[in-house]
Amino acid sequence: YQRRVHGGEWEWTASRRDSTGIWMTTSPPNSPFELGESLPSFEPIARGDMTPRVSIPTFREFMKDLQKIHNVVNDGPVLSFASLQIRILNLMFEMHRILNTKVESKTGHDYLNVQVDNALQVRAASDRTHFCTAVGRWANGPPKMEEVLKLLDERGVKRGVPPMPQQLHLQMDLITLSKIDSSGDEVDTSEGGDIISQQYVHPIIREAFLSTNGPEQGVYLASLTKDVFRLLEGSATYAEMRMDLNGEDPQEIIRLAHWVSNHELHCKYVRWSIQVPTTYYQLKKKGKVNSLAELLDNIFKPMMDVTRDPTVNPTLAGFLFKVKSFCLMGEGRKDLVKSKTASIDPVDWTSKANPSYAYYMYYFWQRLVMLNESRSSRDMNTFMFRPDCGEEGPSTNLIAGYLLADHITNAVGLTSPVMQYLFYLFQIGISYSVVGANERNTTFQDHPFQLLFKCGLRVSLCTYIPLHTHRSEIAINEEYSLCRRIYKLTATDISEISYNSVLQSCFYTDWIENDDEQCRQLYLKSLCSLSSVRKIYRSNVLDQEREWVIRCANGKSLSTQEDWEYDRIKIQVPQELIENSDMKACEQIFYAINARRKYLKFKKLVTNLKNLENTIAKSKDGVFMLYYNDELVQEVLPSLKEYIEDFRIMKDIADGGTLRALATQRLQLLDLQFELHRRLNFKLEKSQSGDFYQCFKVDNHVHMAAGMIPKQLRDFIQRKATTCSEDIVAMNKDGQGITLGQLFQQLDLDPEELTIQKLDVQEDQALFERFDNFNAKYNPCAQPSLRELFLKTNNQVKGRYFAELIRDVFQDSEANRVWYTEFRLSIYGRSCDEWRDLADWYVANRVQSDTNKWIIQIPRLYSMLKSSGAITNFAQFIHNVFYPLWQATLDPKNNQTIDYFLQDVVGFDSVDNENVTDKALTNTLPNYWDNNDNPPYAYWMYYMWANIKTLNQVRRHLGMSTFEFRPHCGESGSMHHMTSGFLLAHKINHGVMLRQSPALMYLYMLRQIPLSVSPLSNNSLFLLYKDNPFPQMFKYGLNVTLSTDDPLQFHHTAQPLVEEYCVASKMWKFSVTDMIEIARYSALHSGFGADIKEAKLGKLFWLASVRGNDSKRSQLSNARVAYRYDRMGEEVAYINSFLVDKKIDNIFDDDIRELHYHEQEFSFPSFVF
């Protein structure tokens, strides 16, 4: 019909379509002409007869082709392929725009934009204010309305007896469009026809003022049209205006020609199109035509006659030279493929029902081809075929448009990825009135325009019927303005859409072929407005996409030789595009990384003392350090004052616009790169990945007091009530023992009737942003005494029940061996005896498992302890928490239980409600912090970090285990808690406040600081699941994993960690490879030893390259590991390209990780950068 494929190569016609004789008004896609280098030739073919150069496909052939393409469009593999390619095109454009927005703005000239309104109906071209004013003026002035009514009577328009204003119940000086609208009756669109006319404007108003056959030969519409001409000229806007031609008789097009001629409707900013509504069924009912063939003859025969002999009707001949295209409108809902009457010839179509729209399109196209052949053989202008297509009706209408049309209009139904891809490959023009569609049936959000534009389809904007859908005088400006704001289009995007509107229009060929200097300037202006960078991008991608299709069709797909090889997207950044702002941002990154290194770089203890005999630990300014004969043995840490200054600078960096701008761009790019990688390599990764349920995963953040699910707690309470009812579990005021059975009686609880609902430990709506209500959920049945008995280590039964419950929980993970835990136990800082009590409980009750490591959480409860008189100042709190650890470190023989317990402890956590307003950070030393107010969060963080760091240095020197600092950070509250975490923390629990700071997000990615996120917990307390940044952080490449936090409150199944993963996979569409990667992060985060990690992940697990991933053990695809490795290398190289005489290190580099791991081999079970 117009596009063919021969021998596996695309064949494009440069001058005319191969079988139709229709002028190609757009250059062949990807031709040099599009890049402004040369012009294609448009040589007319001289023929003296009406015989087509090649035979026109018959309707039977058309039906077969239509059916074949219909089958292709609905074929599963084709749909999958096209969906993938469309998504890739979308992502590639987003990447291009992120990387090239600045350079496109420099190389483009959007002030030169030439916009063409590709579809503007004459009868609805006025703006509503002007139209209503004119109608009000004309209705009360000459000519008399009686003449109008008489004319309407002749046409059979029902009007009643009173004059027109009274009949419509209008005060004509107060007329508005809503008052002259149609009656609002439901319009039957199944048959098609002139649906717009039926839906808008009262019939009387329409016939009188919006018809070329109105009073005095359509003077009112002509006057309105001239007003539109003046507006177009004043705004230098071009339009292709559509006039209606119904085909009711052969004289209709002649009357139309005389209407244009008599009213001198000529404007250099306007080209005419003939619009033919599918009104056969209406004309048939009125007896004006007997068959569809007669309707087509009424349209085309006068044009054929005047083409053969222009002297027959010079007015019509002149008019046709001004007409550039024919349009068809009124789709209806009939499907040609399913039609039983499809084979009927138009001569025999005498039914009172309309045929299907695709049937209409074929026979209209067939007649237009023959007309064009005749005209082109005589060196006359030819016409494009530009139907409305895809707004309503079946998909076969779009397929017919794909086969037959030069361009189509209002294809809001172009949602099939296969059809989108075909329209893209052949660059078929599509004009949309997005504002109009929003008024009628498709919202801005549901409209396909934005997606199609991003994917590179040749889309433009039009206004169509602005009288009914727009508000401003220059409707096309309103269309562009609204789309720019709603879809966040750049200036270059607007230039491209404008450029597309010119390419689709008939102005394009007029300006090229016309020797007039003004036309030549308009052509050059339209060509130069769009950035050459954008043109080259579109051209290259289209070339690559066609080559890819041909290669796939010929069976030449890529095959990888190694399992770590994958399809890559390469990005090049020319040095000339580097800007000063980017250089400054990279300097800030360099400072931030060095600041973190200053606080977290591990330094060995340098001393001549053997075994540190006769040394003691003393507190200096709130930090315990090692002394020998009052001489400091350890190196002095950065002071509180120095830390406050670094913290202030980091806050400024995080809040400033310089790094935020760069980080936002880089993170967006990483997001799109990951989406592209996942779509390009989905099958490869799937084939390499193993079983998620068998992969090693660790719950890195879970509190032991809520570490069981509600059913476990209920069953345990019921079991103890049955078997241990005589146990003394409490004492009354008189010092007499209270048994477990008596306790339940006092609480009016029957253990046998205890349900999970009565237990009342699960989250509910009262928890959101109410940390006090959350803490109350730790009390089973809302009874603090039950929490004290079953979930505490220090009580009347010496924590025996809690220990038994813990061992029940351990049994689950020990049974499957792929789900490990890092539970938290609390040290409050009330006294130094807490450590010994906890360690004695640990040893006595054997609460240890090779599937668990312990982390000690320090609640930030200084204010409560100070108010109760338990401590006098913050220094005493620090003493109570850390001094017993120094005693066990320097004198393990006299502190055996603590020493034994610490071998199973891998880190410290700082916990409590972050959603409280911090006091200002001051350099007040702990000895002087003696008021009842809690210190600021950043103050807590410094003294936790400092005391853990000095203790670790000594313990490593002695060959003892060391501890990581893993605080709750960024769950809620200030974003700058994450700033403290960046400087001081080895790893982070939560971290969702990173969503507020692209700069910090980027820094966390570059340093790969582990983050254990608990979306189900966040959803109940501070952040709805849909707003959680976890999926974005994962795509950016942050070192994130999933954890449960409090299964007792937030989970329901026997495996809460698997539940956490499953919910995330469903909500965020994670693949199996994604889930395994997240699980692998959890294993690397954990404090389990190298022996377990080697067994579960691979012998070189500490390496970030594929050398470190044993896919048979970790279950993770090597392609995914290689992708992450490459992305980090590219990011570091990008940043280093801006730095002079200094570099940041790539923490994924194998050599760096080898050195780092062996330096910390006897220190941290997992290493930190």
Residues designated catalytic: 990
Task: Please say whether the beta carbons of 92 and 540 come within 8 A.
Answer: no
Four-CA torsion 292, 295, 299, 304, nearest 10 degrees:
70
Alpha carbon 1040 to its chain centroid, in Å, reads 20
How many Å apart are CA 511 and CA 685, to the nearest integer?
A: 52
- Angle at CA 309, nearest 5°, toward 305 and 311? 115
C-alpha span between 640 and 651 (Å, rounded): 16
1063 Cβ contact partners less than 8 Å away, ≥ 6 residues apart: 1015, 1016
Reduced to 3 states (helix: H, G, I; strand: E, B; else coil), residue 76 is: helix
Contact 208, 164 (CB under 8 A): yes
Structure tokens at 979: 């700033």
Of residues 474, 508, 495, the one with CA closest to residue 113 = 495
DSSP letters along 600-654, please? H-------S-STTTTEEEEEETTEEEEEETTEE-SPPPPPHHHHHHHHHHHHHHH
In 10 A of CB 578, how many CB atoms? 13
- Catalogue the E-assigned strands of 87-130: 116-121
Which has the closest alpha carbon to 15: 34, 35, 42?
Answer: 42
Q: Residue 412 and residue 391: Cα distance in Å, rounded?
A: 5
- Could you please report the per-residue DSSP string of 427-489? T-EEEE-HHHHHHHT--TTT-SHHHHHHHT--EEE--BSHHHH--SSSHHHHHHHHHHHHTT-
Strand partners, 826: 857
Angle between helices 998-1007 and 580-600 (to 10 degrees): 60
- Residue 953 near residue 634 (C-beta atoms within 8 A): yes
User: Do residues 392 and 437 lie in contact, with contact meaning Cβ atoms separated by under 8 Å?
Assistant: no
- Quick one: tokens of 461? 């904007």
User: Quick check: 885 and 856 in contact, CB under 8 A?
Assistant: no
Q: CA separation (Å) from 277 to 82, 205, 326, 943?
A: 33, 19, 11, 80
Buried b (16+ CB within 10 A) or exposed e, 925-960: bbeebeeeebbbbbbbbbbbbbbbbbbbbbbbbeeb
Q: Whose CA is closest to 1080, among 690, 697, 687?
A: 697
Q: How far apart are CA 434 and CA 582, in angstroms?
A: 37
Instruction: Assign 927 to helix, strand or coil.
Output: helix
Dihedral sign computed on CA atoms, order 704, 710, 715, 720: positive
Q: Which helix (H) or strand (E) covers residue 1000, if one does?
A: helix 998-1007
State the amino acid at position 611 in one-letter form: N
For 889-916, the DSSP string reads HH-GGGGHHHHHHHTTEEEEEEES---S
CA torsion angle for 651, 653, 658, 662 (degrees, to 10)? -100
Q: Would you give the DSSP letter of residue 699?
A: E
Can you tell me the distance from the alpha carbon of 900 to that of 960, in angstroms, rounded to the nearest whole number? 11
Task: State the sign of the Cα–Cα–Cα–Cα dihedral 791, 793, 794, 796.
Answer: positive
